Amino acid sequence: MPSHRLDEIDRMILSELQADGRMTNVELAKRVGISAPPCLRRVRTLEEAGYIRGYHANVDARSLGFEVKVFANVGLVSQAEADLVAFEERCNRWSLVRECHMLNGEVDFILKCVAPDLSTFQTFLTEQLLRADNVASVKTSLVIRGAKDDPGVPFDVLEERLAKAP
């Protein structure tokens, strides 16, 4: 958990970088209303404190030939901590699995997978995921169309909450 306490300028920096991580420090400083040197120091502090975990390009999977996106709901035989960790580690090694989240409820994990075609995903499903140790069940949902895919957090909601705080 980050220990650095965020002020309004820190939150503006995070919001701006979340929207466009490629902007120059000079542009960022201008947008948040401070000069470039303290802006750069703040960015470095936010990175060191763990608020900024990295910078990434938002790659269009379809333009690269990845036509299939699937959400897989995975049930495990055992939910012992060692078994949960082992499954998470295995997911980290599967390149088709782009996200892995442990859930509360009937499903233990949800995986977001991308593949170039259904055949590739089916091979992954039948030869790797379903055969993995401790996997009891898998239910898949093929994505037909995506309507929203925003990264990060909604800073407008954060600011509203902070404005209401005593």
Domain assignments of the chain as residue spans, ordered by start: 8-57, 62-142
How many Cβ atoms sit within 10 Å of the Cβ of residue 71?
A: 14
| 10, 15, 50, 153 alpha-carbon torsion, rounded to 10° | 130
Question: Do 62-142 and 8-57 have the same topology in CATH?
Answer: no
Q: Which two tokens stand for residue 56?
A: 């990434």
Q: Average pLDDT, whole number, for the chain? A: 95
* Backbone φ and ψ of 138, nearest 5°: -140, 130
Work out the average pLDDT over 135-148. Answer: 97
**Is the domain 8-57 a CATH 1.25.40.10 member?**
no
CATH T-level topology, domain 62-142: Alpha-Beta Plaits (3.30.70)
pTM of the model: 0.86
